[in-house]
Structures are given as structure tokens and as C-alpha cells.
Amino acid sequence: MKKILTLAFVTSLILTGCAKSTPTDTNQPAANANTGLANPASVFCQDHGGRLKIKTEESGLPRRSADLSAETQIVKAEGAEAGQFGLCIFNDDTRCEEWAYFRGDCQPGKNIIVFNPRKDEEITLPFTIKGQARVFENTLNYRLKDSAGKILAAGIINAQSPDMGQFGDFSLGISDLYQKPTDNNVILEVFDYSAKDGSVIDLNTIPLKLTLPETTTLKIFFNNDKLDPEISCIKVFPVTRIIAKTPTVGQAALELLLTGTSPEEYESGYRTSLNSGVKLNSLKIENGIATADFNETLQFQVGGSCRVGAISAQIRETLKQFPTVKDVVISIDGRSEDVLQP
């Protein structure tokens, strides 16, 4: 009996000691008091005066692991499901992707931010440029350069801003290059031109690794008065585009024709006679005859034999580069009889 009482007394002392070793103060902060901010980048955003907003990727798919640093893949903002990420929004309404701000790759005050592709990401053709911008007339610019400074791709991106002075999403797919890069080290620049003096502003510089798939080189034909000083109208001259290999090369060539010239080509005198907004409905190649069907915009307010001849020549020569095409029929919404008449 004495042994049992002694054992009970010792057990009581042990339990009392354990209870004292566990804090019971309700004012003690939790291990992570920011229960709504589950990662360091989110905390960093809030601690520096920003507010966090969860944004959903257009694809709705999880980001590839190569897009994120190791620590980013471990934690994310609370409520951010697959295909979502955090935006840190500052008092002036400029914003950064939370991890880009945490790493120092993005700073407050910029009117253009790029979500995709990310710094040092491996890309191939095609790839997509995505982000948000607050720019004049919702128009911003991009260019892709190789390590030697050669321009591989360039052009304009339109942001979908709801109103003047507000940020809007932008997204543009890049499917072709003007030339092959010197090596796989490339730089993507997304920027705006100052309305005051034309200087580059809000520049985003993103180093990338470009791995080209098996490619096809296409010729796209434009007018050029410098090469045709007599302005014969029907003389057109080729520029090259490099795309990922595809079985529908004719369609790809026409789609590239509709995108127009590059900035460098324009400076060299190349011009397109096709209206902006022309869309290719279909392309059929049978028995050596290519029938290219476009929307009504192809001949909207198009008059005069010179303009009509130039448009026809651009389309015909772009298609006749392919050995299976001997002749070309141009139609609009299925009709060809009265199309492109002077």
C-alpha cells in the first residue's frame, strides 16, 4: 500500500511539471500570426505597405516548377489554388507579382509588370507574354534580343484597361522569329515610349533561355518602294519568319502576312497594303490551287488598281512559295467573283 501511494505521488509531480512547461497565456502570439499571409513574399508585401490580391492564371493551370524558385514552390498565399498567384498592390496602384517584389526583380512605381515569362525561365516557340499595364492608349511594346543584340521579335501589345489611368491585363502569343539567335541566351524587353520625348520608360528586362524546336523558315511578301522605285504596285519582296515546324505551313504563312512588318522592316521600306483587322477564314489546297478565304475587311474601302494589285500580289506570292501551289484563288466569305476589283 505504501509503495502504491509513493508511486501516485511521483506521478502527480511529473504531470504538474509537464503542465507548467506548456504556455497557457492566451496573449502569446501564434507561430504565424498572419494566418491570411502564408508565405514570406506575402508578409514582405504587407510589411512594406502593399496589399495582397490573388490573381487567377488565364489557363487555370498550375505554374510549371521551372517558373518558381524552390522556396516559392513550398509556400503560397492563403487561398491561392493551382493556377493562382499573389499580386502586391501599392498605394499608387502600381503592382508587382509578390515573389518578384520579394526578390527585388520588381519595384513599386512601374506602370508595366510582366508575369510571364519569368526571369531565367526556359522558353521555346511558341510562348506567351502576360502581365498588366497602365500606359497611354493601352499600347506597350516588346522586343526579344539575343546575346549579340540582334532583334529576334518585336511589336506592340494592347492592354485591356477598363478606363484611363487603370491597370489592364495584356497577353500576346509569340510564334515566330525574324532570325535565329546566336545562342540560347536571350533578353525580353517590355516597355513604353514616353509621349513627351520618345524615350524608353517603364522598361522590364527579363533574361531567358530559348530552346528552339525543329523549325521552318517562311517567306512573307510585302511592297517596298525603296526596292521598287517605279512603284509598280505588283512587285513584292520577301522577308523571313522562323516558326516551329507545322504541317499547315500555308495557313501559318498567311497568318504571319496579316500581322504585318516588323519595326526594322518598316524602317527599311517594307509596307503592307492589307487592311488592319483582316482575318483568314480558311485555306484549302486542291489539285495545285490554293483557295484563301478572308473576312470582308480584306476589301473594306479598298479602291484603285494599284492597291488592289498590291494586296493580291502579297497573298499570291506568299502562297506560291510552296511547290504544291500553282495558282491562287482569293475569296471573301466564300465568294470570289467580285473580290478585289479596282
pLDDT of res. 62? 35
Same domain as 242, residue 199: no
What percent of the chain has pLDDT above 70? Answer: 81
pLDDT for position 57 = 66
Contacts of 336 (CB under 8 A, 6+ apart): 291, 329, 330
CA distance 113 to 71: 22
Per the domain annotation, does 154 fall within a domain?
yes
Q: Tell whether 13 is covered by a domain.
A: no
Q: What is the CATH number of the domain that holds 191?
A: 2.60.40.10
In a domain? residue 64: yes
Q: Is residue 20 assigned to a domain?
A: no
Tell me: the pLDDT tens digits for 174-218?
Answer: 999 999 999 999 999 999 999 899 999 999 999 999 999 999 999
pLDDT digits (tens, 9 = 90+) for 279-314: 999 999 999 999 999 999 999 989 889 999 999 999
Are 163 and 256 members of one domain? no
* Distant-in-sequence contacts of 95-104, Cβ < 8 A, 24+ apart: 95/53, 95/132, 95/167, 96/50, 98/39, 98/41, 98/42, 98/44, 98/45, 98/52, 99/41, 99/68, 99/69, 99/72, 101/41, 101/44, 101/45, 101/48, 101/50, 102/40, 102/41, 102/44, 102/45, 103/69
| The predicted structure's pLDDT at residue 38 | 62
Q: Does pLDDT of 37 surpass 60? A: no
Assign 264 to helix, strand or coil.
helix
For residue 66, pLDDT beyond 70: no
What integer is the mean pLDDT of 87-95?
Answer: 91
Residue 327 lies in a domain: yes
119 with 87, same domain: the answer is: no
When mean pLDDT is compared over 38-42, 49-53, 242-246, the highest value belongs to 242-246
The total domain count for the chain is 3
Same domain membership, residue 118 and residue 144:
yes
Residue 67 has pLDDT above 70, yes or no: no
Residue 30: other Cβ atoms inside 10 A: 7
Please give the residue range of the domain that contains residue 100: 34-109
Position with higher pLDDT, 70 vs 55? 55
The per-residue pLDDT of the chain, averaged, comes to: 85
Alpha-carbon span 78 to 37, nearest angstrom: 6
Is the link from the previous residue into 213 a cis peptide, with omega within 30 of 0?
no
Residue 47 CB coordination number (10 Å): 11
Assigned domain for 17 exists: no
pTM for this prediction: 0.73
In a domain, 98, yes or no: yes
Q: For 29-33, 320-324, 330-334, which range has the lowest pLDDT when averaged over its residues?
A: 29-33
